Amino acid sequence: MTTTRYRYLLQQKIEETFSKKFIIQKAVDDLLTSESIIKKLNKGVEILYSWFNQEHGIDKSLRLLALQQLDINELVEHTVALVALHCSKPMKLVSIASMCISHLKMVDKVDAIQTMAEVIAMLSGTDLFDCKKTEDGWVVLSRIGLDEEVLRYAYNAFYLPPMIIKPRQVRHNRDSGYITQRGESLILGYYENHHDDDICLDVLNTLNANEYELDTDLISSLSEDPLEITIEKLQENAAAKDKYLSRFDAEKKLKQILDTWDDYQEECYKIKTLMLYHGNKFYLQNKVDKRGRIYTSGYHISPQGSSFKKAMINLAKKEIVTGLDTW
């Protein structure tokens, strides 16, 4: 096997390990090994079709009409799988609904969350999970456990790491440089932002082809400081992506970041170790917002993050700068 082929297969394996899409399918496959669960999933399909046939107000009828255009079997399977993956402990209904809305492909995000919350509430009739009201609002708790191998995969599934091989060229607005990823818009934001007009794919391909490396001296001697993250910076970042973040919501988000800082740093350590192990040469993907501004698709490693994030990345190809004496 050639080195090129080996690294291609290695990249494919990395994507399967870290991709949330693969984890959901693994969870679905695990559910479908049980005859009793299959019967309850089929019951869930019947519950939804019965719900569709009931009388509803105009707004709700329109939302449910959009639902009926989907593969209902797949909707039920993926919803139950996500609940099984994330609700081993009680989770707020609105939180798990927000995690499931990508399957709905609805334009309005608020409508999508409301509709998904209703779907989850209806599917609690399968007895595969509970949906109940508490003092803190509605919460969801799974009644089924998943195979240990699936849970191990789920533990590693967060954001896709940088690529260790040169990305594929993107050729349309729902393409990706990753080997196994397709269908997600290259335009940031919700579904209403997507279009098929020119977004300068040649520019994205040029940026995607830049090879980077970690600054090993820096990451071995310094660590990222959470105090660099402020409420004002969170609001600025949201505004840059055409989103409004109130001070109250920014305070909540900052608290969440600080509360999970150790977990986040552990994830960062895993990704940095992965890059170093495979030669410390990697590529980052890029997307655009609806105004054409470019953002790097990196969560743990990115040149557009904090000052520490920017400092820990170098261009892999270095050249000696000459001609400075002419200035």
Q: Are 272 and 4 in contact (CB under 8 A)?
A: no
pLDDT score of 242: 61
Task: In whole angstroms, give the CA distance from residue 114 to residue 242.
Answer: 22
- pLDDT tens digits, one per residue of 150-164: 888 787 777 889 999
| Stronger pLDDT, 133 or 110, i.e. the higher one | 133
Residue with the larger pLDDT of the pair 316 and 252: 316
Radius of gyration for the alpha carbons in the chain, expressed in angstroms and rounded: 22
* Helix 109-123 vs helix 93-100: crossing angle, to nearest 10: 110
40-79 pLDDT per residue, tens: 999 999 999 999 999 999 989 989 998 899 999 999 999 9
pLDDT value at position 256? 74
> Comparing 12 with 225, which gets the higher pLDDT?
12
Q: What is the DSSP letter of 166?
A: P
Q: How confident is the model at residue 148 (pLDDT cuts 50, 70, 90)?
A: confident
pLDDT band at 326 (very low <50, low <70, confident <90, very high): low
- The reported pLDDT for the residue numbered 126 is 96
Residue among 16, 6, 2, 9 nearest 180 (CA): 16
Question: Where are the domains positioned within the chain?
Answer: 20-149, 160-315
The model carries a pTM of: 0.72
Which percentage of the chain shows pLDDT scores above 70? 97
Q: pLDDT of 274-311, one tens digit each?
A: 999 999 999 999 999 888 999 998 888 999 878 899 99
- Count CB neighbours of 279 within 10 A: 11
CB 231 within 8 Å of CB 251 = yes
CA–CA gap between residue 307 and residue 230 (Å, rounded): 13
What mean pLDDT do residues 261-268 have? 84
DSSP 124: G
Q: What is the mean pLDDT of residues 154-178?
A: 90
Identity of the amino acid at 156: N
